[in-house]
Every structure is written in structure tokens, then in C-alpha cells.
Structure 1
């Protein structure tokens, strides 16, 4: 009877669990950074567009790319491991779908910033769109970089030629992102429509909008079980009466035209 080394098996399981936990934390951090980058990207070309905003976009983008490289290496190694348990592989595939979707959103926003910065230059403030927004995005950038306050960390002002430098840097980052996405699709083949989402369903009263929708439905519908059926029947009768009235008016008009011509 072959001997089984339980100690080695337990160590491998613990190592796999730790790797999965680390990958999940990295993906969650990337989602947060991508969301902050999208918020900052929406201000490009508007009245709040400044050199500081472009610098905050650069820092947020660099943070996202750094996380993306780490996550890609983490998940690629795990998904290419054929000895990975099915449960861990299922979780890794879920993380892979979230990771690749976040990369696509980041790539779209980077291309948007590149085009907007080309059309709206900071040298010409008149061309900026007066959106009515006020304030900067330092708080958003601080959340993306996991800093308590971005203004306290940054003591030096952005350089005057930051706009030109940012354009070249952004173009290189977009090219790097294209290469990363292509490389991911080559190394790992995870079909998104085949990955089944898992997790507990949200409770009915978990969001304000859903609660308001449920309250409005309760107010509109009668409390009895036959109420919705009666409402549907009334609506059908009203539609039928309206249709008959339209047909009668059309027939009357046609008869009048025939008589008076």
C-alpha cells in the first residue's frame, strides 16, 4: 500500500489557498483603481481638466498597470497548472473573467483619454467644455493609490511640459496593454460565457433603488391576489374600446369623403 505524505499535501493546499486569496485581493484592488481611473477620465476636456488631473491620471494608470502585470502572472500560472483542484480552478476562472473585463474597461478609458487630450489641449483653456463641475480629483486618485491624502504626499507641482510627456507615455501604455491582452488570450483560454458566476444573491431590500421600486409596485397593485389580473383586464378593455373608436372615426370620414365628392 503506497504511503501518502499528508504533510506535503496539506502544505500544497495551504499554498494554493493563499495564492487564491492573494489573487482575489489583487483583482479587487484593480477593480477599485480602474473605477477611479474611469472617474478621472470623465473630467478630461472639461472645465476641471488641469495638469494636476493629467498627473493623477498617470499615477492611477501606472498603479493599474502594475497590478495588471502581477495579476496576469498570478492567474496565468494557476490556470495553466493541470493539477489545480476543480474548485480552485473555478474560482481562478471567475477572477480571470473579472480581471480581463477590468483590463478592457481600462483600455477603453486610456484610448478615450488619448483622443480627448488630443482634441482639448490645456494650452487653450477656451476650448475646454464648461461642464459646471467644480473641484479636482485628488480624493479619487488618493483612493486609487491607497493614500490618505494625495495633496500631502505631492509637494511639488507637475511640470509645465507634462501634457506632451503624458501623451507619449500614454501611447506606450496603450501599446503595452494591447500586447498584454493578446498575450493573455494566447496563454489562457477561458471562455467567459462558460464561466458560471457564484455567490450569495443580494437581499431584496439591499439597495435603495430596488426598495423604492418594490414600494411603488406595492402601492400601485391591490393587496388581493386578483388585483393584477383585474388591472390587466381593464387595460385590455380600454385598448379595445380605443381601437373601435379609431375605426369608427376612420369609417365616418371615408363615408363623408365619398358623399361630398
Structure 2
């Protein structure tokens, strides 16, 4: 039961983390806006809730020393994937915090970006931009909240490492490395490979040898010229 629920939670966490990653990349860019910051904040909270649920679900069975065999191996694979998602989430949250601090959604920054100017209309422009972008929400409060959440995720990662001793390098993969490539090559068969390769053409082989010799001579000549100069 824990394994099936863990897979479902991890799939949802993967989607939320990937969506948060794409949104964090847009902070400070031309597509940045209050709407993007709200979407980023909501996705970040969703990812944290899923991460907390996944941690609670996987921690107890992995701390059970009586759990052995394939069941434990599968839970350890889920734990390794979960740890990777959490590391990515923390890194993107820190990136969003740095970019949000450098590019606050305030009227003066908007005024500079849009190229508006003039002493007479500056006050009206600032009020108009503040009303349009909803600057009353306050970037400072959102950034302080994000900073607290970054510390919470960092504490969650540290707590995970202290409670569950599952080194990522020790987790056994379900399939050997390159298993898909080996399967594709074996299904092709040696006969198919020979048919694709075809018989060797002596003329083409001679031409390739001559081309290689000319290329080596050109490289050697260039090296000599460089040393003499």
C-alpha cells in the first residue's frame, strides 16, 4: 500500500516540481508579472504539501528494519527520486528568491522598463501602474514568506537525511544501465546489421585512406608554421 501511494504522490510531486521550475525561470524576465508570482507561490505550496505527505508516507516503512527484499528496494528507489525532487525544489525556490529580490514588482521598476518618463506625469504613471499590477500586495511580504519556506524545505531535507539512512549511490536501479539500447540492438539481430552495413567497397576505402593522409599532412604543416612563427 505504501509503495502504490508513494508512486502516486511522487508522480504528483514530479509534475508540481517541474511546473515550479519553469515558473521560477521566468522571474525577472519579460513575462514576469503579479499573475506569474501568484502562480509560482501556489505551485510552490502545492509541491511542499506533496513533499510533506510523501515524506510521512515513506519514512515509517523505510525505518522498519524488518522490511526486506524487493519491497524495500522499491521504496528506496522512490525515496531517492523523492530526495532529488526536493533538492530541485529547494534550488528553484532559492533562485526565485534571488531573482525576486533583484527584480521586485514595484512601480519604479515598471516605469524604467516601459520607458515612460516626464516629471509632470510621473505621479499619475506610478499610480496607474500600481493599480494595474496590484502592487498593494507587497513584494517584501512575499519574499519574506518565500525565505521562510526555503528554510523549511532545507530543514525537511536535513531531517530526512537524519531519520532515513538511504544513500542515493547505494540504491539499486530496476534495470541495468543501457538496458534499452541493448534490447534494441539484440532485437535487430546480427543479420540486420550485416544487411545495413553491406559489402565493403575497395574504392571507397582507398578514397577514405587518401583523404585521411591529406588531412594529417595539413595538420602537421599547420603545426610547423605555428612553431616557426
The TM-score, its normalising length taken from structure 2, stands at: 0.72
1:182 matched residue in structure 2: 158
Do residues 67 (structure 1) and 50 (structure 2) align?
yes
Q: Deviations over 1:156-185 (max 9, x none)?
A: x97722422211210110010111011111
Cα RMSD for the two superposed structures: 3.2
Residue of structure 1 aligned with 2:33, choices 41, 47, 50: 50
Higher helix share: 2
Do residues 224 (structure 1) and 209 (structure 2) align?
no
Do residues 193 (structure 1) and 169 (structure 2) align?
yes
SS in structure 1 of the partner of residue 157 of structure 2? helix
Residue of structure 2 aligned with 1:79, choices 57, 62, 66: 62
Check 1:77–1:158 CA distance in 2 against 1; reply closer, same or farther (3 A cut): farther
Q: Deviations over 1:89-147 (max 9, x none)?
A: 11111111110011010001000010101110111125669xxxxxxxxxxxxxxxxxx
SS in structure 1 of the partner of residue 65 of structure 2? coil
Contact 1:55 1:162 in 2 (8 A): no
- Cα deviation for residue 79 of structure 1 reads 0.7
Do residues 241 (structure 1) and 224 (structure 2) align?
no
Give the number of aligned pairs: 192
Higher mean C-alpha displacement, 187-196 vs 99-108: 187-196
The gaps in structure 1 that reach 5 residues or longer are: 1-17, 130-156, 207-221, 255-261
2:90 matched residue in structure 1: 107
The gaps in structure 2 that reach 5 residues or longer are: 115-132, 185-195
Contact 1:54 1:163 in 2 (8 A): no
The TM-score, its normalising length taken from structure 1, stands at: 0.64
Contact 2:2 2:58 in 1 (8 A): no
